[in-house]
Amino acid sequence: MNAHEIDYRIYGEEMQYVEIELDPQEGVVAEAGTFMMMDEGIKMETIFGDGSKKDTGFLGSILGAGKRILTGESLFMTAFYNDLTGKRNVSFASPYPGKIIPIDIAEYGGKFICQKDAFLCAAKGVSVGIEFSKKLGRGLFGGEGFIMQKLEGDGMAFVHAGGTMAKKVLQAGETLKVDTGCIVGFTQDVDYDIEFVKGIRNKVFGGEGLFFARLQGPGTVYVQSLPFSRLAGRVLATAPRAGGKDRGEGSILGGIGDILDGDNRF
């Protein structure tokens, strides 16, 4: 194996975290901001690049960091190494309620494609790069643009799904239609494209957007019930407005109550 062979355990239900067990000289790479806790004796190092252990030199590191900018991620990743004898543990937490999904990349032919903010951590040696869409419709209307993340190698990686996770194994020619924001990731053999919602009334009044993702097997697809964009939208929609007044939630009159109360700002 090129990647470090790590052991792990996932704890919790709604707000999960993954504990990685590192043997001496083993390491794991993680997105900035996912670290939770670690045992004494683990060395933490901020790195450029894609997280793979191959030495690409200074220019290679800069190119790897540039790829991460395209995906909207931080310039840096963090590596954690066990420099002592004996086993040591390091843990990484979910960014919001959902499930942590362990992905054995070797089982999927050495490559797994996921949305830009799904990746949590991976064994040292796994490459975290970018996947460009070759289809115009997918790039313009797919929700993730032309760029998604790709995880390559033969080690373990961990991605996060918001809410409840559904795993769908598609047979050859089998099709699954999904809200574009609800895709967590899929294997490299899955054909991913964008399809227009049919019907004028559905487009104008359906409230589900104009497009959905069309995924065709063979391959495995992971779907989330609560993408972060949907969660953030609901929070913003119910947040108090400037001046400290709420928007009438729980009131029979609702917004009309604001007008009667003298608050008729829109």
Domain locations in the chain as residue ranges: 7-237
* Cα 186 from Cα 112, distance rounded (Å): 6
pTM equals: 0.76
The percent of residues above 70 in pLDDT, for the chain, comes to 68
Please check the confidence at residue 8 and state whether its pLDDT lies above 70. Answer: yes
- Residue given tokens 């900018």 in the structure block: 69
Distance of CA 131 to the CA centre of its chain: 14
**203, burial (CB in 10 Å: exposed 0-12, middle 13-18, buried 19+):** middle
Mean pLDDT of 161-188: 92
CATH of 7-237, one of 3.40.50.10330, 3.90.76.10, 3.40.50.300, 3.60.160.10: 3.60.160.10
Q: What is the pLDDT of residue 228?
A: 79
**231, burial (CB in 10 Å: exposed 0-12, middle 13-18, buried 19+):** middle
Q: What is the pLDDT of residue 50?
A: 59
- Other residues' Cβ atoms within 10 Å of the Cβ of residue 189: 15
* Span 140-151, pLDDT tens digits: 554 444 578 889
Mean pLDDT of 185-203: 74
* Span 60-98, pLDDT tens digits: 555 555 555 555 555 678 899 998 889 999 999 998 889
Q: What are phi and psi of 112, to 5 degrees?
A: -140, 135
- Other residues' Cβ atoms within 10 Å of the Cβ of residue 251: 12
**Amino acid at residue number 52:** S
* Cα 128 from Cα 5, distance rounded (Å): 17
Mean pLDDT for the chain overall: 78
- Quick one: pLDDT band at residue 205, thresholds 50, 70, 90? very low
* Span 15-63, pLDDT tens digits: 899 999 999 999 999 988 899 999 999 999 888 665 555 444 444 555 5
- Quick one: pLDDT band at residue 186, thresholds 50, 70, 90? very high
- Other residues' Cβ atoms within 10 Å of the Cβ of residue 244: 6
